Amino acid sequence: MLVPVSFYFLRHGETDWNRRRVMQGHRDIALNARGIEQAREVAPAVAKLPIASICCSTLMRAKATAEIVNTRGLALTIIDDLKECGFGIYEGQDAGGPWREGWRNGEAIPGGESLAEYSTRLLRGFNAALAKPGPVLIVGHGGSVWPLEKFAGIATGLRIANCALFRFDPPKSDNAPWTYTTLAEPASPSVAIGEAQPSAL
C-alpha cells in the first residue's frame, strides 16, 4: 500500500536517449543540454513548493535534475529503489517496440524486471521517501507511472514528460483513486516514455 500522504513528483530532464526514443532502464545516462535547461526552467516552480525533503533515484539523470531544482539547499536523499525499471535486453532499443504490450501483461524481460517486480520495488522506494519529513519531492523516472497505476489507482495513460512536475493526493474516501495535479512543465519540448519519434526531431 502506498503511504496515504500527499507528495510531489518530478521526472528527470531530457537525455540523448530520451531524444532518440530508446529505453534507458538502468543505463546511467546523463542529462543533455536541453535536459539541464528543462530542470532550470521548472526550478522556480519547485522553489515555491512547501517541501521539507527531496528524494531521488540513484541514476545520474535523476540526481542531476534534483540538484538543479534544489535551490534551497535541502538535504538530498538518494534511494536505490526509486530507479527506473530494468529493461534488460531492451535497454538501448526502441521505446515503442512490440515487446511493451507483453511486458505490460506480465511477461518477463530477459535480464530485466517484470512489471510486478518493478512495481513492488518502486512502491518500497516511494514509501521510504514518504517516511521522510514532508511534504516530500520525489525526483524519478517516467516508468514510475506504471506502479502508480497499480498502487494509487491512477488512470492508465498519464503522460509524464521530461521535467513535468506533479502533486499527488491520497483518496478522500475508501476505494477512491489518488488524484494528481500537473503543476509545471518546461517550455523546452519534452517527451514521455514510449512516445513515437516526431518528424520535427
pLDDT digits (tens, 9 = 90+) for 76-128: 999 999 999 999 999 999 888 888 889 889 998 999 999 999 999 999 999 99
The whole-angstrom separation of Cα 141 and Cα 147 is 11
**DSSP-derived pairing of the beta strands 53-56 and 136-140:** parallel
Each domain of the chain, given as residue ranges in start order, spans 7-171+179-184
* pLDDT at 137 exceeding the cut of 90: yes
Q: What is the pTM of this model?
A: 0.91
The whole-angstrom separation of Cα 68 and Cα 44 is 11
Asked if residues 102 and 90 have their Cβ atoms less than 8 Å apart, the reply is no
- CATH code given to domain 7-171+179-184: 3.40.50.1240
Cis peptide before 135 (omega within 30 of 0): yes
Longest dimension (CA), the chain: 45
Among residues 14, 41, 84, 185, the one annotated as catalytic is: 84
Active site residue 12: yes
The whole-angstrom separation of Cα 165 and Cα 111 is 31
CA 196 to chain centre: 19
* pLDDT at 65 exceeding the cut of 70: yes
Active site residue 84: yes
Looking at per-residue pLDDT, the higher value among 77 and 193 belongs to 77
Crossing angle of helices 60-69/33-47, nearest 10°?
40
